[in-house]
Structure 1
């Protein structure tokens, strides 16, 4: 099968996996917010960073190397498998010993047992990290859906049942644990590859030499993706962590779905065309602009309709999360512009540049925190938006060197999408004010406001003949997008 056909047949499956997985998670969280307290979500928010770091230490970036490597064999897979397994036991032991100190840091004794139980997912996932990497490398997203969705449904039932019976934060812990176990069991039985008795240190060294830089960057990403949870949890009430966590979760539903789906297709495709600079640039531009075309209007709608959205989905007790959500949505618009170009650096083998830029970008966040932490949480979140914007400028400079996609060209590509969203957002703001003046319910306001925005966005996009709308219509009509072979009009 040609690369174009592979991209066409798997883009939709990747999207379906992202949307179905996140959709189920989101629906479950909606019900969870009605049964457990903001403080329970806050406790989980406090430990996310340590769990994320554990996952990165477990894989050491070597599964990324497997995906990038052309024609890896069973010796590569088996060597990485055994290293992952050994690492998982070591990481779990480290986390187990560290748990009381983490709990003391937050002054929350209950975190000790939560961390120790939740961290069992490290060992469980290690058994099938390589099998999952093989599915990603081979673009077998249809198989991934068949594995992930049943695990999600069963684990969600477990979590909701526990929440209903008053288990609080433990319902979230065991929901994650059951999900990891079921996914690993299915990957083990349904994957075409099984480990052999082969541990070749030469292969390990090869994958580690590339992967450790990626792992260091992912550790930084994990820390800074959760740095506001850490800071808020240390300096403010536990409930504030819960409000921030839920606001970030609501923002991340569209961001992680849209970016995650396209990024999952992008990395293996870019790896296969890394020697064709012109084709790589064309594919990159199409993917980036499609992400921005779909993601930006969703963020604009969330900014304007934040109050009815939170009240309808989570009930009024979560309204303190309102300003957090609105600010985070501005960061959500900038997110693809900052992180998607990092994929190019990985594919081009510039893991040094990937690490350097990631470190500098995180430094911007630290500067923002130092400058605003005394002011309060609102100022703290605005500093995140500012850091993303400066990071976009810096990344664009290096992207122009690596791939020839200059900042002014990026800006010229993005301006039509941004201007369109500013206009649609202004109309929605007026419509929202009109609807609330009539005293309509939250669901009615959301339904009418969203419908008006979507219809206006589509009509104007068609009027101005935007290529991104053509891609989107192609995906809906033909269930695929030919990123690789389709040329700009």
Structure 2
């Protein structure tokens, strides 16, 4: 078998990374500004209130399409008919309507009782409007993703986030407080609806096929199961901290988590959104999949490592100067969680790979193993050391995730990924990280301004990368620029 990477594949990947990167830049800029303004205007306990609501709405959000959207992307074109799309649309509408009613009538009152916060009775139903309307966008988004039309996806996402972000900022300055963040979360989904209809030109018909539903639901049920386990795995800390330690402590922890995990999750999304359909298209060529996967890990590490190093080395002056002394309790958790993100990014493409090769069942089993280890260690950490203990528990469990992910490769037929292969792709970002850290720490202990130390960190990091990956950098950026032109 010829495993040479096709030019068309390289162009699709370059195009996808380009437009997903544009999407990331705009989204994270506005998201960061909004979080910055709210953190200045709100107190930790108010920030924690949103964190409490987000635990419940986020959990239901992962159920909103039953994994059907992922199934539509993974299926080959010849295995899909129009009935699959129409059936998926109406299944999503019926399902999310039921979820919204459950959130309004059951979950909101329960959350208010569980946390002793009456405001959650109002906040959660309003946040849940995003769940209700998200099903309308599901099929359109799957169609654009499947066709690798990331330019349109980036345009829709950026325009709606800019619209929502600007209005949310005005609301924040006008004194709406937590409702500015609530509005921003809900409005992006609603604003996106007409853009998706225009981008695809697809309109749903009153058509239902039981065979089409069973076809995509059979794949989607495993994907949804994995998403549920993954969500519980990544958010049980919010639930326990909010319940055991209160809204104010949860607010401090939330800030630390948002600053670190936002970069990790969004950067992973950029690459995984591109690679998931590619993995599906190339699922029979395991040698090519291996090269793609290692490049994904390397690229994610190259981007994420310097950001996390900044938080670890310069977290104290960053928090106190940007957010104020009231948030100083977030510094230690921020540093620990930044380390956990650096571990997590090492397996950044694992989920997309397993789904792309049609192994969602294996993914769900691995999530069960990770959850069984994580829950007791998290409970012990919170009980003995509060939010710092929670952060250390997360760091330990990210190490477990790396080991479990490495083991999972041996369960994919003909997919041989050795530890040597894995470490080989990490060599360059690790050398750059050590070099940049040494320079930044030295400057910081010389009492230079933390902004100067930060600039030195990033400059040293990318200069080292350029020296070690000179030819690869040229080839990569040439491909991106040619595609953009």
Q: TM-score range by the shorter chain?
A: over 0.9
Q: Distance in 1 between matches of 2:480 and 2:147?
A: 23
Report what 2:438 is aligned to: 426
Cα 1:110/1:475, change in 2 over 3 Å: farther
Q: Distance in 2 between matches of 1:463 and 1:131?
A: 43
Q: Distance in 1 between matches of 2:137 and 2:468?
A: 47
Report what 2:54 is aligned to: 48
1:95 aligns with 2:103: yes
Cα 1:465/1:115, change in 2 over 3 Å: closer
**158-167 or 283-292: which moved more?**
158-167
The runs of 5 or more residues in structure 2 that have no matched partner are: 1-6
Q: Distance in 1 between matches of 2:291 and 2:232?
A: 33
Q: Distance in 1 between matches of 2:11 and 2:477?
A: 18
Q: Distance in 2 between matches of 1:355 and 1:294?
A: 28
Report what 2:465 is aligned to: 461
Q: How does 1:325-336 map to 2 (within 5 A)?
A: 325-336=334-345
1:189 Cα deviation from its structure 2 partner: 3.4
Aligned residues: 473
Q: Distance in 2 between matches of 1:110 and 1:398?
A: 43
- Asked if the contact 2:297–2:425 (Cα under 8 Å) also holds between the matched residues in 1, the reply is no
Cα 1:305/1:467, change in 2 over 3 Å: farther
Q: Distance in 1 between matches of 2:458 and 2:483?
A: 20
- Asked if the contact 2:15–2:480 (Cα under 8 Å) also holds between the matched residues in 1, the reply is no
**152-161 or 349-358: which moved more?**
152-161
Q: Distance in 1 between matches of 2:474 and 2:454?
A: 21
Q: Distance in 1 between matches of 2:239 and 2:261?
A: 18
TM-score in terms of structure 2 length: 0.92
**85-94 or 135-144: which moved more?**
135-144
Q: How does 1:54-453 map to 2 (within 5 A)?
A: 54-71=60-77, 72-98=80-106, 99-376=108-385, 377-402=387-412, 403-436=415-448, 440=449, 445-446=450-451, 448-453=452-457
1:11 aligns with 2:20: no
Q: Distance in 2 between matches of 1:206 and 1:374?
A: 45
Secondary structure at the residue paired with 1:58?
A: coil
Q: Distance in 2 between matches of 1:433 and 1:473?
A: 36
Secondary structure at the residue paired with 2:283?
A: coil
TM-score in terms of structure 1 length: 0.92
- Asked if the contact 2:168–2:184 (Cα under 8 Å) also holds between the matched residues in 1, the reply is yes
**407-416 or 266-275: which moved more?**
407-416
- Asked if the contact 1:60–1:211 (Cα under 8 Å) also holds between the matched residues in 2, the reply is yes
- Asked if the contact 1:128–1:187 (Cα under 8 Å) also holds between the matched residues in 2, the reply is yes
- Asked if the contact 1:397–1:407 (Cα under 8 Å) also holds between the matched residues in 2, the reply is no
